[in-house]
Structure 1
């Protein structure tokens, strides 16, 4: 029997589009927020560690990153947006992260903040 059902192909394309949106729109904004947090004395080390992970310069610890970003959203996002941001972040971290060119000076500062 010939089938014209394209739902699987459409769903696969929707997943690809969602992944590109998370990597192309959400990830850069997260990195910018973490970069700002690195200049604050409280939590600079945590922000720097997460910045390096999401920038591909340190091994990704998904649980750590999710906890760090949930705390970030509690501070900077309106209450109605937090659950959606946490869900999008979980999806972002579940898939491959698109490499982003980090500012070399900021990346070096992050390495300094995270070194023992």
Structure 2
């Protein structure tokens, strides 16, 4: 599924509790994250042959975590929205959890449109 299709499959009010569960304390950033979601949902995606693949990654010592490479999000939002999103075997994140993670990563890693600048600054204040 393309990321832009995943965004259109959920309302922000469904996504925000998942973001807060995955990143405790982010409820205070509801307004800037909602603005990000609205902008992402309104953008025209650019077709991309690259993908966002969620996989199991080695952490420190024996730790493992599920995630996608930061480089998957390091580009204009329109291009990221046009990427296919997938998960390797063993990744038990559901679609809304992947979407929540994508939105947060796009806000902090991606090249956002100028319309998001003020909200981006609000995310960086804490």
User: So what's the TM-score if we normalise by structure 1?
Assistant: 0.32
Normalized per residue, the structure richer in helix is 1
Normalized per residue, the structure richer in strand is 2
Please tell me whether Structure 1 or Structure 2 has the larger radius of gyration of its CA atoms.
1
User: So what's the TM-score if we normalise by structure 2?
Assistant: 0.30
